[in-house]
Structure 1
Amino acid sequence: MSNELSIQQCEACHSDAPKVSDDELKSLLKQVPDWLPEVHNNVMMLAREYTFKNYKLAWAFANKVSELAESEFHHPAILLEWGKVKVTWWTHSIGGLHKNDFICAAKTDQLL
């Protein structure tokens, strides 16, 4: 199901762009079922932790996520640890979730 999202491109997002509604959130989460909504400092974000056999594999994945972020001009938080990478997407300009975050989550999953 995330294939639909993964073929879409992020759209330019301004501070007046609408955040996803509660109904949209439910629908979009079904398309990226391994991702979880999290709230930090009153900002809704989309997060997933990936596990790897060692640091080098985790590092390589984090680099792929960075390249994706640059190509989409949409940048997540990436926490790199030994054998783990946590990726957190949200739209900074609106202080919450936009469809772009779900598009990038689906594309992140395809980097594995």
Structure 2
Amino acid sequence: MPDLSKAHCEACRADAPRVTDIELGALLQQLPDWGVQDRNGVMQLEKQYRFDDFQQALAFTQAVGEIAEAEGHHPALLTEWGKVTVTWWTHKIGGLHRNDFIMAARTEELARHSAGLRDVLA
């Protein structure tokens, strides 16, 4: 499977297919620290990042926002003192699309280059 962080999001329509269970397993293997949450029947891809302080968390949030804006695919971002929770899902289809995994991989790339990233919460 090609490197997700190098892929680009495709335009998503309301009738776009959600990832299958087989695809989900294969995609999660490329993002081992990410988890899938079921919120009211909507599958969402989520990870929490830790930072040394609020300023670093805020800078990471802004950077994630910039890559999201560039691709036209936007996450839920919860910024707190010393941590950021990033949640990807495709609103139009009410679940997970390949685009969500592409953006999670891009978030990982960004995190690897962010100063102050200490560790990942399970």
Q: TM-score range by the shorter chain?
A: over 0.9
1:61 match = 60
2:101 match = 102
Question: Which SS does the other structure have where 2:67 is aligned?
Answer: helix
Partner Cα separation in structure 1 for residue 38 and residue 67 of structure 2: 24
TM-score, normalised with respect to structure 1? 0.97
Tell whether 2:5 aligns with 1:6.
Answer: yes
Give 4+ residue runs of structure 1 displaced > 2 Å after superposition.
none
Could you tell me how far 1:11 is from its partner in structure 2?
0.1
Question: Which SS does the other structure have where 2:49 is aligned?
Answer: strand
1:91 match = 90
Give a deviation string over 1:46-69, Cα, whole Å, max 9, x none. Answer: 000000000000000000000011
Partner Cα separation in structure 1 for residue 67 and residue 32 of structure 2: 20
Aligned-residue sequence identity (percent) comes to 57
* Number of positions where the alignment pairs a residue of Structure 1 with one of Structure 2: 111
Question: Which SS does the other structure have where 2:46 is aligned?
Answer: strand
Return 5+ residue gaps in structure 2 as ranges: 112-122
Return 5+ residue gaps in structure 1 as ranges: none
Partner Cα separation in structure 1 for residue 17 and residue 76 of structure 2: 21
Question: Which SS does the other structure have where 1:101 is aligned?
Answer: helix
Partner Cα separation in structure 1 for residue 64 and residue 30 of structure 2: 19
Could you tell me how far 1:81 is from its partner in structure 2?
0.2
TM-score, normalised with respect to structure 2? 0.89
Give a deviation string over 1:13-70, Cα, whole Å, max 9, x none. Answer: 0000000000000000000111000011210000000000000000000000000110
